[in-house]
Structure 1
């Protein structure tokens, strides 16, 4: 399967995440050297969620960010959406263990066709999932549609370092070593080869910021993280709803 074909094949992406779900959290810790936790903490500080504010977390996976959002909102409506049933099942176990089942609702669904009315949430987030969707612009439009006027659309995602030699080192690690780690640690070479492939055509920091603006979001802010290996983007829906 070519990189272009793999990116456009929704069934392939779905099978990747269904198969890696049991070891997803462990591998995230290993391959990011636990930096994904620091990135999420930084993101939550920038979001500054207030008690009572609602949130929709797209591509929520095993629900770590969904849980952070629910805690920050002090019990306000929080929904996690993902297309992988296996991911959601693991996330539900976490939610139930923490006693947050009355606050967090998990929904199996498509980020490109959100099953929610316009202007429903104070925040709509997507963490490490935007590079896996077939149409980034469509997902951003949907995120803007369901966020309230004045609300924020937030993306935390792997990105592309721009300065050498760090760029070369990152590419070597992400493209060569990461799939081998997947093979050795969880017997999933092909699945972890997909992760670097998904970044090939993904926009860099500034290009994704322009896509946020192109979707009609305002006051777009972009933050490179850990030398640019990840990035945070935040955009605001106009108070006029446009």
Structure 2
């Protein structure tokens, strides 16, 4: 697996997620001490999907989040480039599409909103992926990103970066079907930009009204933005 600080090979990343697909949801809950459910709930609230809307859930994995968004009455599609992850969610009754985040197989402006939960850092070109999401979202549509971030309390940030992330691969040996993948995931978390820097990348990709707030002390952050209206484009 390529190091997280280098360019990410899409095939290698897809293969890695194919390898962790078995038991992925259970592993997430164990490794986050159940906080993954709370983060999904906040993502759902901020997304605020409505009946009749079309929502793209990108890097959706096994479609756990897609199902929750669809409970609003919106039409939600789970898109991911790991076939193993999509197969792992085959029992979930939402549409699923194998898709490259940099070349989405959708028309311009077809979605009312796009969202990514804990997948943006795995794309090998963050800004290009954000631009591609903007392409398939209508003017005035919404973007919601839920991703790991930088703890705001300095003492905890030190412990998180120095110790907790180093424990991730160790824990992965006991709960994951592919423990080596968690070495990559830990490094990708360590190398990921902080809240403000990600907000700047979202703006660079053409989104406006970018805002964010922290969850769990900044270990995770929710970013939201809007695609400029047709008159502003």
Higher mean displacement: 173-182 or 114-123? 173-182
For structure 2, the 5+ residue unaligned runs are none
CA distance 1:222–1:5, shift in 2 (3 Å): closer
| Among 179, 182, 190, the residue aligned to 2:180 | 190
Q: Does 1:199 align with 2:197?
A: no
Structure 1 residue 187, shift from structure 2 partner? 5.4
Q: 1:181-206: per-residue Cα shift (whole Å, max 9, x none)?
A: 11122353311111111123322100
2:159 is paired with a residue whose SS is helix
C-alpha contact 2:113 2:143 (8 A) present in aligned 1: yes
Cα displacement (A) at 1:223: 1.0
Q: In the aligned structure 1, how far is the partner of 2:103 from the partner of 2:3?
A: 24
2:82 maps to which of 81, 84, 87: 84
Does the 8 A contact of 1:66 with 1:79 survive in 2?
yes
* Structure 1 unaligned spans of 5+: 96-103
User: Is structure 2 residue 113 aligned with structure 1 residue 123?
Assistant: yes
> Does the 8 A contact of 1:7 with 1:132 survive in 2?
no
TM, length-normalised to structure 1: 0.90
Distance 2:176 2:70 in 1: 31
Q: So what's the TM-score if we normalise by structure 2? A: 0.93
Residues of 2 paired with 1:41 and 1:126: CA distance? 14
After TM superposition, list the pairs within 5 Å mapping 1:146-161 onto structure 2. Answer: 146-161=136-151
Tell me which residue corresponds to 1:108: 98
Q: Take 1:172 and 1:185, find their aligned partners in 2: how far apart are those partners?
A: 22
Larger RCO (alpha carbons 8 Å, 6+ apart) = 2
Structure that is richer in helix per residue: 1
